[in-house]
Structure 1
Amino acid sequence: MRECWQFASELLSSLLQFPFGRRLPCDIYWHGVSFHDNYIFSGQVNKFPGMTEMVRKVTLSRAVRTMQDLFPIEYNFYPRSWILPEEFPLFVAEVHMMKESDPSWKPTFIVKPDGGCQGDGIYLIKDPSDVRPAGSLQSRPAVVQEYICKPLLVDKLKFDIRLYVLLKSLEPLEIYIAKDGLSRFCTEPYQEPTLKNLHQVFMHLTNYSLNIHSGNFIHSDSVNTGSKRTFSSILCRLSSRGADVKKVWSDIISLVIKTIIALTPELKVYYQSDIPAGKPGPTCFQILGFDILLMKNLKPMLLEVNANPSMRIEHEQELSPGVFENVPSPVDEEVKVAVIRDTLRLVDPQKKKRKDIQ
């Protein structure tokens, strides 16, 4: 880990660095939220124009569903979904039709506000009539998806995977996937959803920002235990039970590539609008956070894509009621330092210069 920090420090010191607000040319511009600077004419920016809009829940759902219509087998990693409010009548009609054709089908659905984050506004329903009043949907569209009722459990808990993906270039399309990620756990033992437990967010929702407020959340000094672990530790456990972890990785890689392919056409439109060909401008790269759920049969399912995944390597810990302090998080450090280090290596603007000199 010390080598990671040393490399990052050395590389950063070799790049041009300026305080916020300076307009002098830089090698790398690192924006916090989105691509928003029209005064950058060279170098590299760590955001793509339009990425934040493209991975919002409604836009992502549209893009993936378009590919599902064209290639249903290749894109079967995304849950059946509908966009509210515009597709509410279709949602009602299709659920009614599926229940008629299969009376044993007892579905659960998860409603996700389009602009929501950190679990805000997400809720589970058993019937379309349970969708909250459409008036609020007019100002806050949502995606409703078929809930995955049979997730893979570890220690009787549901969890998801946060995987970090570097989109280095659109033309040519260049994608790098981190070798490790985070496994984020619920804090109550999982039970399949019923009318009585739909509201139990610590059982059904894997969002770290929700579960950290649970009394059962476990901060651990080990990457193999606790409420947040490395994905590699989960793969080791699966491998010890005879699971084909190479296939799991292969399926995840396929999911990532196909998702980015689905987003690429509109991303190119945004890119060409903000940085027209033939005019001076920066090149772009971006670290994305893919949230993936493993089903009981080890099939990966895409939950969502985050354009601005947190790179914090510490967490808030409550020392006493109302008193918090930031403490190091070994699992975040293990994964995220490597992501930043390798990203800087891959986009290092001095690399080409060194090769040219040689």
Structure 2
Amino acid sequence: MITTATASYASPNRGNRFPFGRRLPCDIYWHGVSFHDSNIFSGQVNKFPGMMETVRKITLSRAMRTMQDLFPLEYNFYPRSWILPEELPLFMAEVRMMKDSNPSWKPTFIVKPDGGCQGDGIYLIKDPSDIRLTGSIQSRPAVVQEYICKPLLVDKLKFDIRLYVLLKSLEPLEIYIAKDGLSRFCTEPYQEPTLKNLHQVFMHLTNYSLNIHSGNFIHSDSANTGSKRTFSSILCRLSSRGADVKKLWSDIISLVIKTIIALTPELKVYYQSDIPAGKPGPTCFQILGFDILLMKDLKPMLLEVNANPSMRIEHEQELSPGVFENVPSPVDEKVKVAVIRDTLRLMDPQKKKKKDTQRQVQFSSLDPVALANVKYD
């Protein structure tokens, strides 16, 4: 908790909360969803203008494809993607060409609505002709990606990683990555996709908001059990099997850096539009949620980037039909409280006023990313 700074919290559902009235400026403004206050002329805001738009599935895919065209070996951690409906003919033609050149190739594809969240509207297909060509595809654009069929399994279950990343500034580019994250598990044993099991979402989709409705979902009461665990517990398990977890962590850091570099040009356009150089305005920072899938060979693959990752530290438990209560989640609390605490410490506006000889705060959950070897123009 920052005791030396005034903070403001803005929520779309609860309105704005200001400790001493709106007329007094705040050191830190904490918006609930997106940067949307044009009347902030100083201080720090926990959202970048345009971030919500920049990390949408279509925009992210365009940015990653641009970098893949320029640096194919450096950006091979993002699945091959096509944008619907505009690239549907291209998608069908490329898949047909790849099948002709390799008749044994039996791909699976995953279709994700552009503005979807929590697994809403996602479905798997085996053939481009299986895309649901309804009116909704025109009004609700989507991304179709090659599905990763050989994920790393733990306890025979597919899982993904939610890793928290603090983008502290754009100029200079300053990134911090949480030392721990969440591992979110499917609730049915994994099988490679077939026409018979394509619709089994509890087997193929790792979304917490979907799997929590499964009868097999296990609320975690420790870091290394249940349907949501700490990423560090997975790393310990892999290390005990002889896996090179240092290389894995290095690959994940590289993925995060390269993804943010791909997003930076568009972010700068939004930033300079809302906060022109030379005019009064706040500085921005933001906690992002990176969703990463590990392949069987431990290669990390980027699934998506969330501009507004959930920071809830409890889950709903049904006591009786239709009666729920909020129950603390030890796994969420362990990871998320540390991320928010250290984010506020890093952004502490009083920090700059402290003497250089004063002992610096040691951050337990966030590591600065070394950008010395990254050139960005």
The separation in 1 between residues aligned to 2:214 and 2:46, in whole angstroms, is 34
Alpha-carbon contact 2:294-2:300 (below 8 Å) kept: yes
Q: Deviations over 1:165-221 (max 9, x none)?
A: 000000000000000000000000000000000000000000000000000000121
Identity of aligned residues (%): 91
Is the contact made by 2:162 and 2:290 (CA closer than 8 Å) also made in structure 1?
yes
Mapped to 1, the partners of 2:10 and 2:52 lie a distance apart of: 26
Q: 1:282 to 1:201 in 2, by over 3 A?
A: same
Please give the secondary structure, in 1, of the residue aligned with 2:350.
helix
Give, in whole Å, the separation in 1 of the partners of 2:10 and 2:92: 53
Query: How far off its partner does 1:318 sit?
Result: 1.0
What displacement does 1:7 show?
Answer: 19
SS at match of 1:59: helix
Q: 1:339 to 1:275 in 2, by over 3 A?
A: same
Residue 353 of structure 1 deviates from its aligned partner by 1.6
Structure 1 contact 313–332 (Cα < 8 Å) conserved: yes
Q: What secondary structure, in the 3-state scheme, does the structure 2 residue paired with 1:8 have?
A: strand
Q: 1:119 to 1:38 in 2, by over 3 A?
A: same
Residue pair 2:293, 2:303 contacting (<8 A) in 1 also: yes
Q: Deviations over 1:280-327 (max 9, x none)?
A: 000000000000000000000000000000000000111122111000
Q: Compared with structure 1, are the counterparts of its residues 118 and 188 closer, same or farther at alpha carbon in structure 2 (3 Å cutoff)?
A: same
- What displacement does 1:232 show? 0.2
Residue 49 of structure 1 deviates from its aligned partner by 0.4
Question: C-alpha offsets along residues 115-163 of structure 1, whole Å, 9 cap, x if unaligned?
Answer: 0000000000000000001521111100000000000000000000000
Deviation at 1:21, TM superposition (A): 7.3
Check conservation: 1:44, 1:282, Cα contact below 8 A: yes
User: Relative to structure 2, which stretch is displaced further, 180-189 or 126-135?
Assistant: 126-135
The size of the alignment, in residue pairs, is 348
Aligned-pair CA distance for 1:14: 23
Query: Retained in 2: the 8 A contact 1:8–1:341?
Result: no
Retained in 2: the 8 A contact 1:85–1:134?
A: no
| Pair 54,61 (structure 1): closer, same or farther in 2 beyond 3 Å | same
Aligned equivalents of 2:38, 2:228: Cα separation in 1: 39
Alpha carbons 1:63, 1:262 under 8 Å: kept: yes
For residue 23 of structure 1, report the CA deviation from its aligned partner.
3.9
Contact 1:16 1:26 in 2 (8 A): no
Distance 1:346 1:190 in 2: 40
Shift of 1:8: 18
Determine if contact 1:275/1:281 at 8 Å carries over to the other structure. yes
In 1, Cα distance between equivalents of 2:207 and 2:242: 29
Look up the match of 1:194. 194
Q: CA deviation at 1:22?
A: 2.0
Shift of 1:19: 4.5
Output the TM-score relative to the length of structure 2.
0.89
Q: Which runs of 5+ in 1 are unaligned?
A: 1-5
Per-residue CA shift, 1:220-279, capped at 9, x if unaligned?
211110000000000000000000000000000000000000000010010000000000
Sort the Cα spacing of 1:16 and 1:212 in 2 relative to 1 into closer, same or farther, 3 A.
closer
Q: Taking structure 1 as reference, are residues 8 and 17 closer, same or farther at Cα in structure 2, changes over 3 Å only?
A: closer
Contact 2:161 2:181 in 1 (8 A): yes
Work out whether residues 158 and 185 of structure 1, in 8 Å CA contact, stay in contact via their aligned partners in 2.
yes
Q: Contact 2:9–2:30 at 8 Å: present in 1 too?
A: no
Q: Secondary structure at the match of 1:233?
A: helix
Moved more, 91-100 or 125-134: 125-134
**CA 1:31–1:7 in structure 2 vs 1: closer, same or farther (change >3 Å)?**
closer
Cα distance in 1 for partners of 2:41, 2:334 equals: 35
**1:52-63 matched pairs, under 5 angstroms:** 52-63=52-63
Residue of structure 2 equivalent to 1:151: 151
Q: Give me the whole-angstrom Cα distance separating, in 2, the residues matched to 1:42 and 1:15.
A: 20
Query: Of Structure 1 and Structure 2, which has the larger fraction of its residues in helix?
Result: 1
Tell me which residue corresponds to 2:368.
none
Question: How many Å separate the matches in 2 of 1:309 and 1:30?
Answer: 14
Change in CA separation of 1:306 and 1:20 when aligned onto 2, cut-off 3 Å: farther
| TM-score of the aligned structures, taking structure 1 as reference length | 0.94
The 3 A distance-change label for structure 1 pair 246 and 186 is: same
SS in 1 for 2:82: strand
1:32-73 per-residue CA deviation (whole Å, 9 max, x = no partner) reads: 000000000000000000000000000000001100000000
Q: Counterparts of 2:326 and 2:159 in 1: how far apart (Å)? A: 24
Q: 1:191 to 1:21 in 2, by over 3 A?
A: farther
Distance 1:7 1:60, change over 3 A: closer
Q: CA deviation at 1:15?
A: 20
Q: Distance in 2 between matches of 1:293 and 1:103?
A: 27
SS at 1:99's partner residue? Answer: helix
Q: Aligned equivalents of 2:15 and 2:135: distance in 1?
A: 51
**Cα distance in 2 between the residues matched to 1:266 and 1:20:** 36
Change (3 A) 1:43 1:186: same
Which SS does the other structure have where 1:168 is aligned? strand
Q: Residue 31 of structure 2 aligns to a residue in which SS? A: coil
Q: Could you tell me how far 1:20 is from its partner in structure 2?
A: 9.9
Q: Report the alpha carbon displacement of residue 16 of structure 1 after superposing the two structures with TM.
A: 14
**CA RMSD in angstroms, aligned pairs only:** 3.6
